[in-house]
Chains A and B, each alone.
Chain A
Amino acid sequence: MGVLQLLRQMHAEGTLSSTQLDVLTAIHKKERFSLHYELRGLIYTGVFLIILGAGLTIRTYLTELGHLAIITTLSLGTAAALGYCFYRGQPCSRDTVPSPNIGFDYVLFLGCSLYSLDMAYIETQFHLLGDSWDGYLLVSAALFFYLAYRFDNRLVLSLALGTLAAWFGFKLNWAGFSFWDYHRLYAIAFGLLSLAAGVSLWRLGIKQHFLDIYLNFALHFLFIALVSGVFAHGLLSLYFAGLVVIGAVVIFDALQRRTFLYFLYAVLYGYVALSYLVIDTLKPAYSTGWIFAYFIVSSLVVVRLIMKISRRFKEAP
């Protein structure tokens, strides 16, 4: 039975209205074809390229352009974008607020990114805040949080959390990607803060659809910090205890709320930490065969457990 056949049958039985039949038939036969996400993708790519180009231009032509030109242009760009958003934006609400048009979310994102670039430039060039130079990151994060909630924008919320993470000391630097104790504790602090903020706001009923973004940030930071702590300090450490507690809470909550993405995170991070501990213990005393045996047995156990959980919760695709 095809889609159209089924729809017609339901209509004949009276379980599908004529309007629904017409709409669904038009969508299925592609007589009504939405380019919404394609156009959003095009605008997003454009915004990303503008920010990238602005950064490159500043870096390359700094001496020719001069401070005044750069700061004025970036400030005007920011003001124009944010001004547009305040002019066209819908009133603030605790629930989801639809964007007035396709490009609105990206104009706000562009404004925030230009502001970020402007602030970073001013601080790099003039060192207004001296040793507390990273204060501009905290101020920027606060502004982005406000704008994300004011205009219901998930992109800007991600930007806010990314900026807050940068204030905590995390940067994209693959050459030095390591987790020292200093970073580890900051990552845990950031993770817990994000988790607490996300859960509290969700409980208060403020923009509940933002919870996923908080959870993604919080859980990755927490798990990476705890797993790296287990790597460094082993089984008899607070990191392992923390990992067990967080992992158990996440698995329980994920199954309760049927958000299996978090279940996946907990299982994967937990398995990596546990495997490291087992291999570390087996390696000096036992042969390679034991390590292979561990992987065979442990992976079978995990598959079996997932099967049980899957059946118990009758999870749907």
Chain B
Amino acid sequence: MNICLYAPEQEESLFIRKRAKTWQRSGLISENQFKIIEERTSSQLAETSLFFRILYFIFTWICLGATIGFVAWMLDLDNEGSIGFLFLLFSIPFYVLAEYLVRRYRVFRHGIEEALVLMSLALFCGGAVMLVLSLPGHPDDNQMMLLTASLVCLFSFWLYIRFGFLYAALISTVALGFFPFQFSLPPIWERSLLFLLLGLLFLMSLQTECDTLEDFRKKRKGIIQACLFMGLYLTVNLRIFTVAESWFDQISLHFTPYAGFPPIFYWVSYILTVLIPALGLYLGIQHRKRALINAAGIALVLSLATNKDYLGLKHYAWDPMIFGATLILAAVLIIHWLAKGEDKARCGFTTESILKPERYGLALPEIGAAVMPGVTTASTETAPVVPSPFEGGQSGGGGASRNF
């Protein structure tokens, strides 16, 4: 049974079109061949460009927010219960309107329906929580958090299966991640439970994959698996949230031995920070999953970055330099190794640029380059001026004084 508002054939057609566009951009097919593919993959869905989608989303969101504000102002609502009720009330027509737009106009990732369902999600969950809070003798903070997380998790999961929004699946997983922290368990149990939960989802996702699955579903699953994988990694790395402080302020982490966890748990987590990225890389390479390879690569870099913190070693200012040089060296070795293979590839892996990505004006590395002058100027401006050994009479000869 297909719960999704879009037929799998329609989504597959859109997937093929996107692929064909990338092939055309990369010079693998001609304009005429692209047109043939376009003709044969009519999905009957109304798509829009990324920038129009963003504009539709922003302005629909403004309109919906202002509408609620206007009604709340008209009714002069000022207590949690009534506002919560209003939120709940509005969440229904917003959701219904989103479904209507998809059914009637066949809009697909248009921004408007996305703003409607996300506003509906926020209003439904926020409204329910506010209503509960307005009740006399309402539950404690942990129970409220559990209620919020449950509602967000269920609603966003529904949005994922109904509309196919990937970010809804991500929101649902993040909300699920809050569960173990609401039972006042010891931190070791909280982490273990979360690890089990995410691990189970990751395994389930791997298990439900098969060759007959449509390409668009495979791609979607790949991204979800990568997100779950990152979640798993962030759960086991106990030093991840202090990495920026320890690298750039050179703070010694000895004052929190074992990051506040039992030593055995700490060292197991240390081993896992190496094993999990390795496993991710293995699975990604084995099944050619780009999102998983990228996630595992990032996790591996983070493991290297937190290695000193784990071992309780002192950080030095030149650590980023050595780390950067190591990354470049690793990249160069991989490039040379792959280039020496037959047809400049090994097991199909190559460093050649095959598919050109779409350009949206300014890419992230270029933004990084643009802020670089600020970084270099700041790092030297704060450097203290070294006093000359001849200044102030410090190296004066016998009998010389500062005020000679």
Contact = CB atoms under 8 A, between A and B. Distances in A.
A103 B250 CA distance: 30
B80 interface: no
Interface stretch (B132-140, B202-210, B330-338): B330-338
B321 interface: yes
B294 interface: yes
Given A59-B383, A261-B51, A289-B74, A6 B376 contact: no
B348 A162 contact: no
Contacts of A316: 49
Contact of A295 (B19, B62, B214, B380): B62
B366 interface: yes
A47 to B, nearest CB: 7
B377 A120 contact: yes
A30 interface: yes
B40 A292 contact: no
Interface in B279-334: 288, 290, 293-294, 297, 301, 317-328, 330-332, 334
Q: Point out which of B28, B351, B357, B379 has the most chain A C-beta atoms below 10 A from its C-beta.
A: B379
B70 A306 contact: no
A303 B112 contact: yes
Task: Give the interface SS of chain A, mostly helix, strand, loop or mixed.
Answer: helix
Contact of B28 (A1, A24, A59): A24
Contacts of B376: 51, 55, 113, 116-117, 120
Contact of A154 (B40, B62, B366, B377): B366
Contacts of A163: 373
Given A1-B40, A216-B361, A36 B322 contact: no
Interface stretch (A60-68, A176-184, A230-238): A60-68
A293 interface: yes
Chain A interface residue bracket vs B? 35 or more
Contact of A42 (B330, B349, B359): B330
B381 interface: yes
A117 B352 contact: no
A53 B319 contact: yes
B184 interface: no
A171 interface: yes
Interface stretch (B53-61, B96-104, B158-166): B53-61
A171 B373 CA distance: 8
A3 B373 contact: no
B366 A102 contact: no
B400 interface: no
B350 A32 contact: yes
The 6 closest A-B pairs by CB, nearest first: A55-B379, A53-B321, A49-B324, A53-B320, A172-B374, A295-B66
30 contacts: A1-B13, A1-B41, A2-B214, A2-B215, A6-B41, A15-B32, A24-B29, A32-B345, A32-B350, A43-B327, A46-B327, A54-B321, A59-B382, A66-B386, A116-B372, A120-B377, A120-B381, A158-B369, A158-B370, A171-B377, A172-B374, A172-B378, A260-B52, A264-B54, A299-B60, A299-B63, A310-B52, A315-B49, A316-B49, A317-B50
